[in-house]
Structure formats: C-alpha cells, structure tokens
Amino acid sequence: MESFNACGVTGIVRRRVDPTREAEAEYLMNELLTLSRATRGFLGSEIFPPIPGVQDAYVVLYRFDRGEHLRQWLRSPARAEILSQMK
C-alpha cells in the first residue's frame, strides 16, 4: 500500500465559458467533479463559478494525494471527453 502524503497537491483549472452556455457548462463541471471523485488519490475538489466584474471564468480546484495521481486525472480520456463537450 502506498504511503499517504497529508499535504497532497492541488491543481487549479480555469475555463472560460460562453455566457449563453453557462447552464450546460455548470452541469458538465459537476460531471467532472463526480468523475474526479472516483479517481485514484482523490482528496477533494471545489468549483467556483464566474463572478461578474471579479472573475470571468470557472475555476476548479482538484486535490490529490500526489502529483502523479493529479497528472493522471488531468490526462484521463474520460475527462477529455467531458471537456470536448464544452467547446
């Protein structure tokens, strides 16, 4: 069994979305969060929607126990498939 690093790593992903597609984008972002929870090494995730006049994009934080697990998540075909639906 792997040792657990209590500090872990955090990946920050920023994604702009066409304002006319925000409802669809929010649904897909939540699908990504659900999928990330089933990924090895997952510790937590949060999504921050755009805030008019402050932040013009969604910001998603992914926390994993180690960098390799975060990289595996960011390169995963399942994640890429969901992201392709946001274009």
Q: What is the pLDDT along the chain (87 residues), one digit of tens a residue?
A: 455 555 789 999 999 988 888 889 889 999 999 999 999 999 999 999 889 889 889 999 999 999 999 999 999 999 999 999 887
**Helix 22-37 and helix 77-84, axial crossing angle in degrees, nearest 10:** 170
Sheet of 9-15, strand order: 9-15, 58-64, 42-48
Measured between alpha carbons, how far is 3 from 66 in angstroms, rounded to an integer? Answer: 10
Find the helix or strand (DSSP H, E) in which 27 lies.
Answer: helix 22-37
Distance of CA 35 to the CA centre of its chain: 9
